[in-house]
Structure 1
Amino acid sequence: MPPMPRVPEQAAVTRIKKHLANPGQELQTIRDSIGESFHRLYRQRHLVLHSGRLDSVALAASLRTVAKLAGVGMDRITHGHYVQNLRPLDLVAKANMALALIGNGSPLDRIGFLEIN
């Protein structure tokens, strides 16, 4: 692979190499990071709702991070409902099963995980 000129591109190549080397572990790391982001948002919500605190230094960062994740999640739920006729909890169960079964085989074997039609 040719060297990438910019730091974000270099970071992307590093992430892809890690994923190809150990996909199950990397997908679990991504899943854990998403869960932690939503937990941070919940803690910030708790501070705002129950303490009336709007001056938290982490509030803006939590909102900025989770807004994109929530949007992608809602898009996926909507797609699952209209295209695959799946209820949200069925979609979660299907995703959990796919994560549990993903192996270290060929990267092409993992395309089905994305459900690209």
Structure 2
Amino acid sequence: MKKLVQHQKSTLKDVHCHITTALRRLYRQRNLLMHGGSTSSIALEATLRTTAPLVGAGLDRITHASLINGVSPLDLASRAQLNLSLVGGADGRHLTDLLE
């Protein structure tokens, strides 16, 4: 958290890369299962352990934005991408406001 407060943009970019990598790994495992019928992948358990909380949290945020604020998932993703690109700049939102 200290690193995030001190170096907002670089830390959030690093977190974004880690999340993207984890979700790509989940998609590859999904493809192995769906298209290859393979359930014996050595990385499957670790992938599910890593990505399940991320997917759950993401779905919670999408549902909350839709039900409470009437924001569509695509609009929410666009807002998130814009806000992440503006972090640390004069036009960017405060770090704690990114959670809304």
TM-score by length of 2: 0.88
Q: Which structure's CA Rg is the greater one? A: 1
Gaps of 5+ in 1: 1-15
Q: Give 1:101's aligned residue.
A: 86
8 Å CA contact 1:21, 1:104 repeated in 2: no
Q: Indicate yes or no: 2:61 matched with 1:76.
A: yes
8 Å CA contact 1:80, 1:87 repeated in 2: yes
Query: 1 CA distance for matches of 2:75 and 2:52?
Result: 23
Query: 2 CA distance for matches of 1:91 and 1:104?
Result: 21
Post-superposition offset of 1:72: 0.4
Q: Give 2:71's aligned residue.
A: 86
Q: Indicate yes or no: 2:30 matched with 1:45.
A: yes
Post-superposition offset of 1:45: 1.2
Q: CA RMSD in A?
A: 1.5
**What amino acid is the match of 1:29?**
D
Provide runs of 4+ in structure 1 moved above 6 Å.
Answer: none
8 Å CA contact 1:22, 1:104 repeated in 2: no
Aligned residues: 97
Query: 1 CA distance for matches of 2:86 and 2:61?
Result: 20
Query: 2 CA distance for matches of 1:60 and 1:112?
Result: 34
